[in-house]
Amino acid sequence: MRRARVAWSGAIHEATPHRLHDGADGVQLSDGRVLAEHEVVWLPPWQVGTVIALGLNYADHARELSLAAQDEPLAFLKGPGALIGHRGQTRRPADATFMHYECELAVVIGRTARGVARADAMRHVAGYTVANDYAIRDYLENWYRPNLRVKNRDTCTVLGPWFVDAADVADPHALALATTVNGVVTQRGNTRDMVFDIPALIEYLSGFMTLVAGDVILTGTPEGVVNVDAGDEVVTEIESIGRLANTVVGDSAFGR
Protein backbone atom coordinates (compact mmCIF):
# COMPACT_ATOMS: atom_id res chain seq x y z
CA MET A 1 0.00 0.00 0.00
CA ARG A 2 1.08 3.58 -0.72
CA ARG A 3 -0.01 6.44 1.48
CA ALA A 4 0.91 10.04 2.05
CA ARG A 5 0.29 12.86 4.53
CA VAL A 6 -0.96 16.13 3.10
CA ALA A 7 -2.29 19.42 4.40
CA TRP A 8 -5.49 20.76 2.89
CA SER A 9 -8.24 23.09 4.04
CA GLY A 10 -6.65 23.67 7.44
CA ALA A 11 -6.16 20.02 8.38
CA ILE A 12 -3.70 17.16 7.90
CA HIS A 13 -5.03 14.15 6.00
CA GLU A 14 -3.86 10.69 5.06
CA ALA A 15 -4.03 10.25 1.30
CA THR A 16 -3.58 7.54 -1.32
CA PRO A 17 -2.75 7.81 -5.05
CA HIS A 18 -5.66 8.54 -7.40
CA ARG A 19 -5.74 8.99 -11.17
CA LEU A 20 -7.79 12.03 -12.17
CA HIS A 21 -10.28 12.05 -15.07
CA ASP A 22 -7.77 13.84 -17.31
CA GLY A 23 -5.13 11.21 -16.58
CA ALA A 24 -3.12 13.44 -14.24
CA ASP A 25 -1.86 12.24 -10.87
CA GLY A 26 -3.97 13.17 -7.88
CA VAL A 27 -4.70 12.06 -4.33
CA GLN A 28 -7.72 10.71 -2.53
CA LEU A 29 -8.16 11.78 1.07
CA SER A 30 -9.29 9.30 3.69
CA ASP A 31 -12.77 10.87 3.63
CA GLY A 32 -13.07 10.16 -0.12
CA ARG A 33 -12.44 13.63 -1.52
CA VAL A 34 -10.20 13.69 -4.60
CA LEU A 35 -7.72 16.50 -5.29
CA ALA A 36 -4.98 17.29 -7.77
CA GLU A 37 -1.38 17.03 -6.57
CA HIS A 38 -0.90 20.80 -6.67
CA GLU A 39 -3.97 21.49 -4.51
CA VAL A 40 -2.43 20.03 -1.36
CA VAL A 41 0.71 20.70 0.65
CA TRP A 42 2.73 17.51 0.84
CA LEU A 43 4.29 16.56 4.17
CA PRO A 44 6.74 13.76 4.98
CA PRO A 45 4.47 10.71 4.62
CA TRP A 46 4.59 9.62 8.28
CA GLN A 47 5.29 11.16 11.68
CA VAL A 48 9.08 11.17 11.50
CA GLY A 49 11.13 10.34 14.58
CA THR A 50 14.92 10.38 14.64
CA VAL A 51 16.55 10.84 11.23
CA ILE A 52 19.80 8.90 10.82
CA ALA A 53 21.72 9.68 7.63
CA LEU A 54 24.56 7.70 6.10
CA GLY A 55 27.54 9.18 4.30
CA LEU A 56 29.70 7.46 1.68
CA ASN A 57 27.53 4.33 1.62
CA TYR A 58 28.06 3.75 -2.10
CA ALA A 59 31.62 2.92 -3.17
CA ASP A 60 31.24 4.74 -6.50
CA HIS A 61 30.19 7.95 -4.71
CA ALA A 62 33.19 7.68 -2.38
CA ARG A 63 35.43 7.33 -5.45
CA GLU A 64 33.66 10.30 -7.03
CA LEU A 65 34.74 12.36 -4.04
CA SER A 66 38.26 10.82 -4.06
CA LEU A 67 37.65 9.13 -0.72
CA ALA A 68 38.06 5.56 0.43
CA ALA A 69 35.07 3.49 1.49
CA GLN A 70 34.58 3.28 5.26
CA ASP A 71 35.31 0.31 7.55
CA GLU A 72 32.11 1.06 9.46
CA PRO A 73 29.07 3.21 8.65
CA LEU A 74 29.47 6.98 8.72
CA ALA A 75 26.25 8.06 10.43
CA PHE A 76 24.91 11.39 11.65
CA LEU A 77 21.58 12.82 12.85
CA LYS A 78 19.17 15.42 11.51
CA GLY A 79 16.64 17.63 13.25
CA PRO A 80 12.99 18.11 12.24
CA GLY A 81 13.56 21.54 10.69
CA ALA A 82 15.50 19.94 7.83
CA LEU A 83 12.46 18.01 6.60
CA ILE A 84 10.00 19.00 3.88
CA GLY A 85 7.68 17.06 1.57
CA HIS A 86 7.06 16.41 -2.12
CA ARG A 87 6.83 19.54 -4.30
CA GLY A 88 8.48 21.60 -1.57
CA GLN A 89 11.16 24.28 -1.92
CA THR A 90 14.75 23.95 -0.74
CA ARG A 91 16.77 27.11 -0.07
CA ARG A 92 20.11 27.63 -1.79
CA PRO A 93 22.08 30.30 0.09
CA ALA A 94 23.60 33.04 -2.04
CA ASP A 95 27.14 32.25 -0.87
CA ALA A 96 27.00 28.57 -1.89
CA THR A 97 29.13 27.58 -4.87
CA PHE A 98 28.50 23.81 -4.86
CA MET A 99 25.15 22.53 -3.64
CA HIS A 100 23.99 19.10 -4.77
CA TYR A 101 21.11 16.65 -4.35
CA GLU A 102 21.41 13.09 -3.03
CA CYS A 103 18.85 10.49 -4.11
CA GLU A 104 18.50 8.00 -1.26
CA LEU A 105 16.35 5.06 -0.23
CA ALA A 106 14.81 5.94 3.16
CA VAL A 107 14.12 2.98 5.46
CA VAL A 108 11.36 3.51 8.04
CA ILE A 109 11.55 1.59 11.31
CA GLY A 110 8.29 -0.08 12.36
CA ARG A 111 9.03 -1.41 15.82
CA THR A 112 11.58 -1.01 18.60
CA ALA A 113 15.02 -2.30 17.67
CA ARG A 114 17.67 -2.72 20.35
CA GLY A 115 20.65 -5.02 19.89
CA VAL A 116 19.11 -6.57 16.76
CA ALA A 117 21.03 -9.29 14.94
CA ARG A 118 21.45 -9.00 11.18
CA ALA A 119 19.28 -12.06 10.58
CA ASP A 120 16.33 -10.41 12.35
CA ALA A 121 16.83 -6.85 11.13
CA MET A 122 14.33 -6.73 8.26
CA ARG A 123 11.49 -7.65 10.64
CA HIS A 124 11.91 -4.17 12.12
CA VAL A 125 11.34 -2.35 8.82
CA ALA A 126 7.85 -0.87 8.30
CA GLY A 127 8.42 0.53 4.83
CA TYR A 128 10.26 2.88 2.54
CA THR A 129 10.14 6.28 0.90
CA VAL A 130 12.35 8.41 -1.33
CA ALA A 131 14.73 10.98 0.14
CA ASN A 132 16.56 13.86 -1.50
CA ASP A 133 19.19 14.98 0.99
CA TYR A 134 20.92 18.16 -0.18
CA ALA A 135 24.46 19.09 0.81
CA ILE A 136 26.49 22.28 0.45
CA ARG A 137 30.10 21.25 0.00
CA ASP A 138 31.41 24.77 0.66
CA TYR A 139 30.56 24.33 4.34
CA LEU A 140 32.17 20.94 4.86
CA GLU A 141 34.84 21.01 7.57
CA ASN A 142 35.81 17.36 7.60
CA TRP A 143 34.67 14.51 5.35
CA TYR A 144 34.47 12.22 8.36
CA ARG A 145 32.51 14.65 10.54
CA PRO A 146 29.69 16.17 8.46
CA ASN A 147 28.79 19.40 10.21
CA LEU A 148 25.39 20.94 10.83
CA ARG A 149 25.68 23.61 8.14
CA VAL A 150 26.22 20.96 5.46
CA LYS A 151 23.58 18.37 6.31
CA ASN A 152 21.09 19.81 8.79
CA ARG A 153 19.93 22.99 7.08
CA ASP A 154 16.29 24.03 7.11
CA THR A 155 14.49 22.53 4.08
CA CYS A 156 17.52 20.47 2.99
CA THR A 157 15.94 17.01 3.29
CA VAL A 158 12.95 16.12 1.14
CA LEU A 159 10.91 12.98 1.93
CA GLY A 160 8.06 11.37 0.02
CA PRO A 161 5.77 11.42 -1.67
CA TRP A 162 4.64 7.95 -0.56
CA PHE A 163 5.22 5.66 2.36
CA VAL A 164 5.36 2.18 0.78
CA ASP A 165 4.79 -0.86 3.00
CA ALA A 166 7.77 -3.19 3.29
CA ALA A 167 5.61 -6.11 2.16
CA ASP A 168 5.08 -4.37 -1.20
CA VAL A 169 8.80 -4.15 -2.00
CA ALA A 170 10.11 -7.54 -3.08
CA ASP A 171 13.79 -6.70 -2.69
CA PRO A 172 14.91 -3.30 -1.37
CA HIS A 173 18.47 -4.21 -2.34
CA ALA A 174 17.69 -4.33 -6.07
CA LEU A 175 16.06 -0.97 -6.80
CA ALA A 176 17.13 1.44 -9.53
CA LEU A 177 17.70 5.06 -8.46
CA ALA A 178 17.77 8.09 -10.74
CA THR A 179 17.87 11.87 -10.48
CA THR A 180 16.89 14.40 -13.12
CA VAL A 181 17.60 18.13 -13.05
CA ASN A 182 15.22 20.11 -15.27
CA GLY A 183 14.35 16.90 -17.07
CA VAL A 184 17.95 15.80 -17.76
CA VAL A 185 19.16 12.57 -16.11
CA THR A 186 22.23 13.34 -14.00
CA GLN A 187 22.43 10.37 -11.63
CA ARG A 188 21.76 6.64 -11.90
CA GLY A 189 22.45 3.86 -9.45
CA ASN A 190 21.07 0.77 -7.74
CA THR A 191 20.58 -0.08 -4.09
CA ARG A 192 22.48 -3.35 -4.62
CA ASP A 193 25.65 -1.22 -4.58
CA MET A 194 25.31 -0.02 -0.99
CA VAL A 195 28.47 -0.69 1.02
CA PHE A 196 26.42 -1.48 4.13
CA ASP A 197 23.02 -2.99 3.36
CA ILE A 198 19.86 -2.46 5.41
CA PRO A 199 20.35 -5.41 7.82
CA ALA A 200 23.94 -4.34 8.45
CA LEU A 201 22.84 -0.76 9.20
CA ILE A 202 20.09 -1.82 11.59
CA GLU A 203 22.43 -4.23 13.38
CA TYR A 204 25.11 -1.54 13.67
CA LEU A 205 22.84 1.30 14.81
CA SER A 206 20.73 -0.76 17.21
CA GLY A 207 23.94 -1.96 18.84
CA PHE A 208 24.40 1.41 20.55
CA MET A 209 21.07 3.26 20.21
CA THR A 210 17.44 2.22 20.42
CA LEU A 211 15.50 2.60 17.20
CA VAL A 212 11.75 3.11 17.53
CA ALA A 213 8.78 3.19 15.19
CA GLY A 214 8.96 6.26 12.96
CA ASP A 215 12.73 6.55 12.97
CA VAL A 216 14.24 6.63 9.48
CA ILE A 217 17.59 5.63 8.02
CA LEU A 218 18.75 7.50 4.91
CA THR A 219 20.97 4.92 3.23
CA GLY A 220 23.28 7.09 1.12
CA THR A 221 23.55 8.07 -2.55
CA PRO A 222 25.41 6.72 -5.59
CA GLU A 223 27.73 8.72 -7.84
CA GLY A 224 26.43 11.43 -10.14
CA VAL A 225 25.91 14.45 -7.90
CA VAL A 226 26.12 17.83 -9.67
CA ASN A 227 25.64 21.43 -8.63
CA VAL A 228 22.09 22.82 -8.68
CA ASP A 229 20.98 26.44 -8.81
CA ALA A 230 17.93 28.45 -7.81
CA GLY A 231 15.09 27.69 -10.20
CA ASP A 232 16.14 24.10 -10.87
CA GLU A 233 13.54 21.34 -10.55
CA VAL A 234 15.10 18.20 -9.12
CA VAL A 235 13.32 14.84 -9.31
CA THR A 236 14.67 11.86 -7.38
CA GLU A 237 13.07 8.54 -8.25
CA ILE A 238 13.42 5.01 -6.90
CA GLU A 239 11.96 1.97 -8.60
CA SER A 240 8.83 0.64 -6.82
CA ILE A 241 8.95 3.48 -4.26
CA GLY A 242 8.07 6.72 -6.02
CA ARG A 243 9.00 9.95 -7.78
CA LEU A 244 9.89 12.88 -5.51
CA ALA A 245 9.86 16.38 -7.03
CA ASN A 246 11.45 19.45 -5.46
CA THR A 247 12.46 22.99 -6.49
CA VAL A 248 15.62 24.83 -5.49
CA VAL A 249 15.00 28.49 -4.65
CA GLY A 250 17.13 31.48 -3.66
CA ASP A 251 17.30 33.41 -0.43
CA SER A 252 14.54 35.82 -1.43
CA ALA A 253 11.90 33.07 -1.28
CA PHE A 254 12.68 32.80 2.43
CA GLY A 255 12.89 36.52 3.07
CA ARG A 256 16.68 36.52 3.32
Whether the CB-CB separation of 112 and 213 falls below 8 Å is answered with: yes
What would the CATH number be for the domain defined by 44-254? 3.90.850.10
Q: Is the pLDDT score of 100 beyond 70?
A: yes
**Fold for the domain defined by 1-43:** SH3 type barrels. (2.30.30)
Residue ranges matching CATH 3.90.850.10 in the chain: 44-254
Cα(55)–Cα(102) distance, integer angstroms = 10
Global pTM reads: 0.94
The pLDDT assigned to 151 comes to 86
Cα(110)–Cα(224) distance, integer angstroms = 31
The pLDDT assigned to 150 comes to 86
Could you tell me what percent of the chain has a pLDDT over 70?
Answer: 94
The pLDDT assigned to 158 comes to 98
Query: What sign has the CA pseudo-torsion 226, 99, 142, 55?
Result: negative
Cα(155)–Cα(224) distance, integer angstroms = 22
Predicted confidence (pLDDT) per residue in 197-217, tens digit: 999 999 999 999 999 999 999
Residue ranges matching CATH 2.30.30 in the chain: 1-43
Q: How confident is the model at residue 61 (pLDDT cuts 50, 70, 90)?
A: low
Q: Mean pLDDT, the chain, as a whole number? A: 93
Q: How confident is the model at residue 71 (pLDDT cuts 50, 70, 90)?
A: confident
Compute φ and ψ for 85, nearest 5 degrees: -110, -175
